[in-house]
Amino acid sequence: MPETDLYGPIKTFLEAQGYVVKGEIGPCDVMAVRGDEGPVVVELKERLTLALILQAVDRLTFSDSVYVAFRIGKGHSASWRGRRKQVTGLLRRLGLGLLTVSARGQVVAVLDPAPYRPKSRAGRRDRLLREFAERVGDPEEGGSSSRQRLTAYRQDVLRCARQLAEEGVLKVSVLSERTGVPRVGSILRDNHYGWFDRVRTGHYVLSPKGERELPNWSDALTRLGSGAKPDDPRTS
């Protein structure tokens, strides 16, 4: 269906709210005016596309109330169905609104335009900075999609596993001292990768699974180096 098929439902929707609506005013697909209020602009596309979003951003130069509108339903905007949260988050950050049009012509205002006021996420920022500081070296190439990412946590697990492989059963406090890893207790207790077995209270050994899988990380272990973890990994 052509984009013009969206115009009728959008026009009816806005007129029901007291707007006078006209199509193709300058570069705008739809412009609506109500009393002395500033103009409302709506950009139309059959599907959600980058071109639609770029058009809408351009319209912000002369209107604070800009919507994107596209059709939803079978065969339309699969990217919208799968990424609703991400799409609305992006539009919110851009200060854009969103109208959807169903196959029956029903219009829903999913999001109204408003200035973006980001929420403070200090906790998330701190977690990222902690990961940056604790990760030794730069073992991951940016843009890679490996599911076995060499995080700071996995680096600590590898240090513990290597030490147990070399010495056998060790007490938690001794393992922490030998590896320089402060969180040894939680690593062994949580045992996310199944690499450790407790032989008695406070004493652990490398599990058969750990023995099998540890050699797969030989390159990572080489990059980590031998001995205890550096006091300030940011310098590594």
Query: Domain containing 85 — which CATH number?
Result: 3.40.1340
Indicate if 164 and 106 belong to the same structural domain: no
CB-count exposure of residue 41 (10 Å: 0-12, 13-18, 19+)? buried
- Cα distances (Å, whole numbers) of residue 57 to 37, 97, 105, 113, 166: 20, 11, 25, 11, 60
pLDDT score of 57 more than 90: yes
The confidence score (pLDDT) of residue 234 equals: 41
Indicate if 72 and 159 belong to the same structural domain: no
Partners of 42 in beta bridges: 30, 67
Please state the rounded mean pLDDT for residues 143-163: 84
Indicate if 131 and 196 belong to the same structural domain: yes
The confidence score (pLDDT) of residue 219 equals: 87
- Cα distances (Å, whole numbers) of residue 1 to 22, 104, 198: 21, 13, 65
Q: Where residue 131 falls among pLDDT bands split at 50, 70, 90?
A: confident
In a domain, 117, yes or no: no
Cβ neighbours around 79 below 10 Å, total: 13
pLDDT score of 236 more than 60: no
Please state the rounded mean pLDDT for residues 121-148: 73
Q: Where residue 145 falls among pLDDT bands split at 50, 70, 90?
A: low
The confidence score (pLDDT) of residue 47 equals: 85
Indicate if 106 and 39 belong to the same structural domain: yes
Q: Where residue 121 falls among pLDDT bands split at 50, 70, 90?
A: confident
CATH number, residue 196 = 1.10.10.10
The span from the CA of 168 to the CA of 156, in Å, is: 17
In a domain, 143, yes or no: no
Indicate if 160 and 221 belong to the same structural domain: yes
Domain, as residue range, for 164: 122-138+148-235
In a domain, 74, yes or no: yes
pLDDT score of 96 more than 90: yes
State how many domains the chain has: 2
